[in-house]
Every structure is written in structure tokens, then in C-alpha cells.
Amino acid sequence: MRAHGLTLLEVLLAIGVLTIVLLAFTGLQVSSLRASSQGRFTQAMVREAENFLETLRADPHSIPSRCSENLTLGDTSASCQVSPCSLNGTSLLCGTDVSNPRAYRVTLQVPKDGPRMTLETVVYLP
């Protein structure tokens, strides 16, 4: 008559397989949490950058004084470059040699060191 049940080797193999599966799920969970955190950070950066650009659009004459190489948007450093532009028929000419600007091209890089995001817009003067 044979005994019914599992041998010690079968139990150890089952525990080994279960351990490997649990470790894989743990790694997946850690990478998911990391991606979620980075997504929240990126979303906050985009929101702060868009709010800053909206304040520039609301008062376009303040753009040269408010846009600088060293900005702080929320908790993040940023860099803002401004270039005056003139209208030539249907084209927009931007550069430092523009004397009577009719618009400004604004480039915002967030964060300042090693930008993850660059937003660019043109703000026309009224």
C-alpha cells in the first residue's frame, strides 16, 4: 500500500516556484510605484510651467523682466529665454536685433539642469 501525500522534494519545489513568482510581483510593484511618483512630479511641473506662461500672456509687457535664466516654479528650478520678434507680412522674425518687438518667443525649460520638458510659445503684444 502506498502512502498518500506530497514528498519533501515536491513541497520544496512548490515553495521555490511560489517565491520566484512573489519576487517578480514585488519588482513589478516597485517599478509601478516609481513610475507613478515620476508621473505626479511631471504633472506638477507641467502645471507650474503652464501657469507661469499664462501669467506672461496676461501681461506681455512684463515678459523681458520676468523671464530669466534662474526661475523657481514651485519646488523646481527652471530656465526661461525670451527673444523679441517682429512681424514681416505673414512671417515672424525673432532675434536679438529686433528693435521694435511686436511679439516675444518664450522658451521655458524645466528643470533648469537637464530639462525633462521644454515649452515654447509666442506671445503677441497688444
Task: Give the whole-number percent of the chain exceeding pLDDT 90.
Answer: 40
CB–CB of 123/60 below 8 Å? yes
- Looking at residues 35-52, what average pLDDT do you find? 89
User: What dihedral angle (degrees, nearest 10) is formed by the CA atoms of 101, 105, 110, 112?
Assistant: -50
| pLDDT for res 30 | 94
- Looking at residues 98-121, what average pLDDT do you find? 87
The CA R_g of the chain, rounded to the nearest whole Å, is: 28
Tens-digit pLDDT profile for residues 68-77: 888 888 888 8
Three cell numbers at 8? 519533501
| pLDDT for res 3 | 65
| pLDDT for res 1 | 53
3-state secondary structure of 13: helix
Handedness of CA 37, 43, 46, 52 (dihedral sign): negative
pTM for the full predicted model: 0.71
Tens-digit pLDDT profile for residues 78-101: 999 999 999 888 888 888 888 888
Three cell numbers at 50? 503652464
3-state secondary structure of 108: strand
Q: Which long-range contacts (CB under 8 A, 24 or more apart) does 84-88 make?
A: 85/122
Q: If you average pLDDT over every residue of the chain, what do you get?
A: 88
pLDDT at 5 > cutoff 80: no
CB–CB of 102/89 below 8 Å? no
